[in-house]
Structure 1
Amino acid sequence: MTTRIPEAEWRRLSTLKPVALERLCNRILEELMLVAQSEDTSHERYLSIFKLIQDRDKQIALAFDGLSRSNALFKLTEMRRENLLTDQEFAEFSDETQRIVSRML
């Protein structure tokens, strides 16, 4: 996606990025705790945690790594796909941006 979002929306997305990343990290940590507390063997739990971290690292990269104005719509779409933004936060973007993201979903 090479379409640039308006400057004001770029600033808003930049302020929402750490909030959304924190939400995703909390979700991942909760998943990890469930795996760590399972009744599987220690080795099975370790392997599950290792795979989960690898998978979630890809998820983090897709939504957050290399955020720039030229890929902001794609990153915003990923944040929305992962339910990392509230409806109220998403509503702060223009109708056009919301339409583009909705189509990309």
Structure 2
Amino acid sequence: MSSVPEKDWKLFRKLQEELTAKACELVFNKVENITNDRVDKEHQSYLDLYSLIESEDAKIAEMFNNPTRNSVLLKIAYLKKYGVLSNEQLQLFSEETQEFVNRMLD
């Protein structure tokens, strides 16, 4: 895979903190759904929570761990796939990057 254009790399780095916060907030919302509905099923809720954290941690890694210019196209695609990157944010990237992401998600 070729590296992302410089403009897109800089944009990704600029958006990274905001996107990380949004990804975490989405996880917290899922955690709240589990914890708010745990009465009389505490153990199952714990197991569900543990499973959720494992799967969400894997997604966070796909989206954010060790971003390089050679891996950031996939990271952008994962951000879009997992609902962290909005359509408006995707449109800020180059047409080339948008096309790559759309091909990956089709």
TM-score (norm 2): 0.90
Partner residue, 2:42 = 42
Q: How many residues align?
A: 104
Partner residue, 1:28 = 27
* One-letter amino acid of the structure 2 residue matched with residue 18 of structure 1: E
Q: Distance in 2 between matches of 1:83 and 1:33?
A: 18
Farther-moved stretch of structure 1 (36-45 vs 24-33): 36-45
Q: Distance in 2 between matches of 1:63 and 1:90?
A: 14
Partner residue, 1:73 = 73
Q: Distance in 1 between matches of 2:41 and 2:86?
A: 38
1:46 shift after superposition = 1.2
* One-letter amino acid of the structure 1 residue matched with residue 74 of structure 2: F
Percent of matched pairs sharing the same residue: 27
Q: Tell me if 1:96 matches 2:93.
A: no
1:34-86 deviations in whole A, cap 9, x for unaligned?
11111342222111111110110011111111111010111010011112122
Partner residue, 2:17 = 18
User: Structure 1 stretches of 5 or more lacking a match?
Assistant: none
User: Structure 2 stretches of 5 or more lacking a match?
Assistant: none
Q: CA RMSD in A?
A: 1.2
1:6-54 deviations in whole A, cap 9, x for unaligned?
1111010011122111111111111111111113422221111111101
